[in-house]
Copies of this chain bind each other. A is one copy, B any other.
Amino acid sequence: MNMIAAVVLIRAVPGDVPALARRIAGIDGVAEVYSVSGEYDLIAIVRVKEYERIAQIVTEEIAQVSGIERTNTLTAFRVYSKQDLERAWDMWD
């Protein structure tokens, strides 16, 4: 069961965005990091089995990576996808 638990919007200190992305992508529990258009520079998708791991990843591991100006974490409540539309699959079945 591939559970998305949080989407972390990241604003970088002006500089080497790809290098920052690689440092964050190396953290255990971070599934992917995207460089994106718009007001934020990166989005990190955190996917872990138990919710408790998120605090550690967000408030300790990502928070201490150098080159980050500000983060805004959106925790996922439920996921809806085509396969699940009938059984309104939620993340913790």
A→B interface (CB under 8 Å):
4, 6-7, 14-18, 21-22, 24-26, 30-41, 43, 50-56, 58-60, 63-64, 68-82, 84-85, 88, 90-92
Contacts and interface: CB of A to CB of B under 8 A. Distances in A.
Chain copies in complex: 10
Nearest to A84: B25
A35 B76 contact: yes
A54 to B, nearest CB: 6
Given A17-B59, A22-B88, A26-B82, 19 more contacts: A14-B71, A16-B60, A16-B64, A17-B60, A21-B80, A22-B85, A25-B81, A33-B80, A34-B77, A35-B55, A36-B74, A37-B37, A37-B38, A38-B39, A40-B74, A43-B76, A51-B51, A55-B90, A55-B92
